[in-house]
Structure 1
């Protein structure tokens, strides 16, 4: 019996030791990943600032950024792609009219009647008045989750198409619009959206946008608000993503020639291209 008891104790200790080793290895792996992510995020933010400096220099020369563009940056020995997205290339949650919002919701798979009703509800919510009599508006796209009829699945589909930071009207600059927004503007015609993306990437001028819904677009409209996003591939096949939303005008708040009003940092499981 004593021998059996000793064997049980030895087995239990072995199991505990194996668990401890496994935990230590896991913690070491997480620490390594955290350091890698922090380094990548630092590189990405540095690349964003390099692009911002170039944008500001062009702005001072009277050259406004009006198109969605991906700029290659080499920093710290790494090749980093920085996407410049003028925010008027997204659908303004606080400015788009019910017809454009309904078109977007229809593209997300909602029946037309339901999409029109929900679009009107969104407009009603943002134009309702607070205690001081001011329109409530949406402070962030996440506020949509408080609108009756918007569940998380629907929100996840439409959030990448929206911005609450651009207070423009119900029109979108197609030269700045990412592919999902172009699909909305083209009524779901992937061929038309792809043609615009290809011509835009080549730097072509006079791009034909007649295939888009004219009542929803405003070509080459200017804005001072941009979202710059850097994606830095990680060794495990994922990517660190850093994004800054900026107002490209001098700011006394932080002494910079632009004002950063939103900063994001996250991980992606893949390094899919823009």
Structure 2
């Protein structure tokens, strides 16, 4: 009789509520799955679009680099011709670093010509010069220099190197040999490359008349004021035509050289609206087979540089 007092359909009504709740849960789960699927598809489409955009940008960059390479070749030839004209009556000025500027559309090309005597001959590298480059050029902290001094103090001998390291050569023959020095990372090596040249012969030390700014900073032990003063004096000597460039009194005399060279490093750079490129040539002042009064020994690929 107690069950007769219970409202009709109460059990079925309770079951209906439970079933409706279950159906709502299933609908919510399906909605979540659909949302996840849409999100995954959106991410996939975004990835495809991103890759496509990167491909387009890379193709544009490659095309710009090809155009820049052709432009750099022309700028190098024009500058070398002008360099020959400018130095025809003054042999001394052939050993002074010089710059030329050429207009291209709304941009300006910069051509820097450095006699190799203003760089460090890799085969004549001294421990003193390498330590100076590491400290003032690469930025090795003074506290870390002690290990380098001990390591290469014996003229690059392997006496101070643990057995786990390769022996250092008594004479470096390729720039990559610098990576044999423990502590020279790839990043440091990339910085070191701008200070050296490879040749059959060369004198130890740096000729400041021919040196780029980064080498002058080494000679001045990082004092940029001294570098600025010397650059002004060098420019005056170049304009005067006498070619007599006296090293700054505060340059480290143990790293100086008065040697000259018939090999030149030529750097051509262009800063456009969207891109900045640079290319490096190594030129010998020997007549080429085509009759041009210089010969391109090698040229590095065009590279993109930071703006």
Which TM-score bucket, shorter chain as reference? 0.7 to 0.9
Distance change (3 Å), C-alpha of 1:167 and 1:123: farther
TM-score when normalising by structure 1: 0.76
Q: Distance in 1 between matches of 2:150 and 2:226?
A: 24
Match of residue 102 from structure 1: 131
- Larger Rg belongs to: 2
Taking a change above 3 Å as real, the CA distance of residues 199 and 23 of structure 1, as seen in their structure-2 partners, is same
Greater helix share, 1 or 2? Answer: 2
1:84 Cα offset (Å) = 0.8
- The answer as to 2:241 corresponding to 1:213 is no
CA deviations over 1:213-262 (Å, ceiling 9, x no partner): 2232134x4211111111111332x411111111111134x654322222
| SS at 1:243 equivalent | strand
Does structure 1 conserve the Cα–Cα contact (< 8 Å) formed by 2:107 and 2:271? no
Size of the alignment, in residue pairs?
Answer: 257
Indicate how the Cα distance of structure 1 residues 35 and 117 shifts in structure 2: closer, same or farther if over 3 A, else same.
Answer: same
Are 2:264 and 1:230 equivalent residues in the alignment? no
Q: Which residue of 1 aligns with 2:216?
A: 182
Q: Would you say the 8 A contact 2:264–2:282 is kept in 1?
A: yes
Q: CA RMSD in A?
A: 3.4
Give the TM-score normalised by structure 2. Answer: 0.69
Specify the SS of the correspondent of 2:207: coil
1:131 aligns to what? Answer: none
- Which of 17-26 and 49-58 deviates more? 17-26
Distance 2:132 2:45 in 1: 60
CA offset digits 1:13-71 (Å, max 9, x no partner):
77655554444333323222222222122212211111112223445545342122221
Q: CA deviation at 1:89?
A: 0.9
Structure 2 residue ranges without an equivalent (≥5): 1-25, 159-167
Q: How far apart in 2 are the matches of 1:117 and 1:22?
A: 48
Contact 2:234 2:245 (C-alpha < 8 Å) held by counterparts: no
Distance in 1 separating the partners of 2:220 and 2:119: 14
Pair 1:195-2:229 in alignment: yes
